[in-house]
A and B are shown apart, each in its own frame.
Chain A
Amino acid sequence: MKKLIIALAATAAALCSTVPGAQAADKTKVCFVYVGTKTDGGWTQAHDLGRQELQKALGDKIETPYLESVPEGPDAERAIERMARSGCAVVFATSFGFMDATVKVAQKFPNVKFEHATGYKAAPNLATYNSRFYEGRYILGQIAAKMSKKGVAGYIASFPIPEVVMGINAFELGAKSVNPNFKLKVVWANTWFDPGKEADAAKALIDQGVDILTQHTDTTAPMQVAAERGIYAFGQASDMIAAGPKTQLTAIVDTWGAYYIKRTKALLDGTWKSEQIWDGLKDGILTMAPYTNMPDDVKAMAEETEAKIKSGELHPFTGPINKQDGTPWLKAGEKADDGTLLGMNFYVEGVDDKLPK
């Protein structure tokens, strides 16, 4: 036994003999907090690709540490505070649920900059940035209406917050512009990241007879279920074509890289200001994955709509639009303003679901 202990101690000594390496000298720390794993194939992966782009572009001046799988809630506050204390110059908090935690930590560390994705609470050292995902979802809706034989699509939603409700409505409006009778079924997975639950939701929807799936959750699980069952689906946040080469029609792809580079440069120049950014297709913060698995006329329609949205000719939320119960919301030609969109708390006509209240 004694010999064993001595042997173990010797191994330990040998393994630990190397002195901790010298820390990288004086690089600015640009830090990221992720809600999922960086290889989730969706939301977090898109942020991590942005981080890698940033690292590539400015790698000689910065380092980009990150924390993965940080649960929303008290753990998030600790994780973000840890980043602020570890010398981060700016912290990108990349989930809606990090909002209150980021606000609290930002108050405590006025000299550190914070950027919160998709939130609405700002401060002098806390900027928010968001993407007009609804523009992409409108295109998805149009494609769905062309490709669906039954005229019913399934939507795997996360939480009934305005961001998600807005996406559901945009999808339905796009679909109705092609097929006025198009119906949309919604399942609330009540999670951003849970492959098991997302797959269950996908199966439930398919069993209810939908023949196109779209999702507002983070993993490729629904895409895989759609591939197994032989129906079409749309990717979300990242290009999910690898999970469904014959299944994905297109995907709305978050391309955060350019934004991260722009903001980091501003930080290095000393011109960083707290802003509330809401960019869309035309700014390149959102891109459409290649239009695949569809006939040429559908593809042409999608490309045309994309071009119109980019040029500003088409705004997905343009009247006449009725609310779900048939009461008028927007008059013909009237466009919804950003404030209304960001607080959206009702469905438009054609959504076959009751908004959790």
Chain B
Amino acid sequence: MRIELQRRPAASGVFSLVSPLLALVLTLIFGAIMFRLLGKDPGHALYSFFVEPLLEVWSLHELAIKAGPLILIAVGLSVCYRSNNWNIGAEGQFTIGAITGSILPILVPQWHSVLVLPLMLVMGAAGGALFAGIPALLKTRFNTNEILVSLMLVYIAQLFLDWLVRGPWRDPKGFNFPQSISFAPEAVLPPLLDSGRAHASILFALLAAVLVWFMMRFMLKGFEVTVLGRSERAGRFAGFSARRMVWFSMMLSGAFAGLAGISEVSGSIGHLQPSISPGYGFTAIIVAFLGRLNPLGAIASGFVLALTYLGGEAAQLSIGVSDKVTRVFQGLLLFFVLSCDTLILYRVRIIFGSGRAREAKS
């Protein structure tokens, strides 16, 4: 007996709908088995992992804080990946966006104006876009591989931030701790509601997702992205420029990552420090793919991944499992989603004895 994957003549409509649910069910089952093995009650554990964080208002705020940057970056990346450009360096663009956006509150803290915050956001987005322009420039000019270049630039960005907050931008009154001065109130993204900490970053994310979805669905630019992504040659016949698309997609995703960076620093942290992201730029790659490179899908998957972070913390506290369980859960989820997606294009055939004979003949 053996198991074979057979390519379906067309993508299965049923499975495109069922596959994410199946993946979720499988994750829950294997998660439950894992909790059982750890000696915890699986029902209680899954409840505290996936339900508890959704029951309280403050926790929903925290969910929004985590999901905001993930969604915002993933939306940009989904356009980029659709156009067959592989920007892996969103983490770096996030960091540079945070730095360029922080120029005003750190270097001219005495300038108090309502213009500070909007300017910060614009400068953050511009910084991220320009930084993503480097791999775009190198790709269009010298045909370099944008995957490698954008990835390596992440480390450059992080070390640059490290140098800044230890050196020229360090708070002189900060007991030598490597961080910048705290932003003045007018440079801080205010909380949306009184009930928690959530700030505008989640609104930017949702707005970006809807706008990009609209662009991809109804505008010529979206069509251009899809055509060039599927076949550069076909795109050229239609008069689209692959070079311009490299610039467009890289800078768009860079701008979103940069905006996420400055929003995070301004809204959640309030100053610059050596580490400003728990890997949002990389996790967003997962978010983009879980959302099937659809901007609206990124909203859903962004919230799911944010939930696993919070759930891990809640489960640690209420049932005392290790924080590593979170990672295992994220891994399980990703694994099952990707493997279940196979079912959309392939059919599983279990072949008994006769199959071998047929193989021998051919």
Contacts and interface: CB of A to CB of B under 8 A. Distances in A.
Interface in B28-53: 28-29, 32-33, 36, 41-44, 46-47
Interface centre among A1, A8, A11, A16 (most CB of B within 10 A): A16
Interface stretch (B123-131, B184-192, B311-319): B311-319
A65 interface: yes
A5 B22 contact: yes
Given A21-B44, A79-B313, A12 B25 contact: yes
B142 interface: no
Nearest to B309: A75
A67 B317 CA distance: 6
Contacts of B273: 73
Interface in B194-226: 197
Contacts of B313: 67, 78-79, 82
A271 interface: no
B322 A18 contact: no
Nearest to A16: B43
A331 interface: no
Interface string B292-327: 000000000000000000000110111010110000
A196 B307 CA distance: 30
B41 to A, nearest CB: 5
Interface stretch (B108-116, B145-153, B173-181): B173-181
Interface string A73-108: 111011101110110000000000000000000000
A85 B28 contact: no
A345 B176 CA distance: 8
Interface centre among B46, B178, B348 (most CB of A within 10 A): B178
B274 interface: yes
Nearest to A343: B175
Contact of B323 (A68, A82, A161): A68
A9 B24 CA distance: 12
Contacts of B264: 74
B29 A20 contact: no
Nearest to A1: B348
B65 to A, nearest CB: 7
A120 to B, nearest CB: 8
A356 interface: yes
A81 B56 CA distance: 13
A21 B41 contact: yes
Nearest to A69: B323
A313 B43 CA distance: 60
A15 interface: yes
A85 B33 CA distance: 29
Interface in A1-32: 1, 5, 8-9, 11-12, 15-21, 31
B322 A15 contact: no
B25 A9 contact: yes
B58 interface: yes
B32 A75 contact: no
A15 B316 contact: no
A319 interface: no
B269 A12 contact: no
Nearest to A355: B176
A190 B274 contact: yes
Contacts of A68: 316, 322-323
Contacts of B276: 73
Contacts of B44: 20-21
Given A16-B32, A68-B323, A82-B314, A161 B25 contact: no
Contact of B269 (A65, A73, A79, A162): A73
A195 interface: no
A285 B323 CA distance: 28
B162 interface: yes
Contacts of A17: 43
B32 A20 contact: no
Contacts of A190: 162, 166, 178, 274
Contacts of B166: 190, 356
B275 interface: yes
A159 B322 CA distance: 28
A348 B163 CA distance: 26
Contacts of A159: 176-178
A284 interface: no
Interface string B12-27: 0000000000100110
A37 B323 CA distance: 9
Contacts of B249: none
Contacts of B9: none
A73 B275 contact: yes
B62 interface: yes
Interface in A290-320: none
Nearest to B40: A21
Given A81-B58, A85-B56, A12 B176 contact: no
A301 to B, nearest CB: 33
Contacts of A343: 175
B33 A15 contact: yes
B25 A356 contact: no
Interface of A: 1, 5, 8-9, 11-12, 15-21, 31, 37, 65-69, 71, 73-75, 77-79, 81-83, 85-86, 159-162, 165, 190, 343, 345, 355-357
Given A190-B162, A355-B176, A357-B176, 9 more contacts: A5-B22, A8-B26, A15-B33, A68-B323, A74-B264, A74-B268, A74-B269, A75-B278, A82-B317
Interface of B: 22, 25-26, 28-29, 32-33, 36, 41-44, 46-47, 56, 58-59, 62, 65, 162, 166, 175-178, 197, 264, 268-269, 273-276, 278, 313-314, 316-318, 320, 322-323, 348
Nearest 8 interchain pairs by C-beta: A20-B44, A74-B268, A15-B32, A16-B43, A160-B176, A69-B323, A68-B323, A15-B42
24 contacts: A5-B22, A8-B25, A9-B25, A11-B29, A15-B42, A16-B32, A16-B46, A20-B44, A21-B44, A65-B320, A68-B316, A71-B275, A71-B278, A74-B65, A74-B264, A75-B278, A77-B197, A79-B313, A82-B314, A161-B175, A165-B176, A190-B162, A345-B175, A355-B176
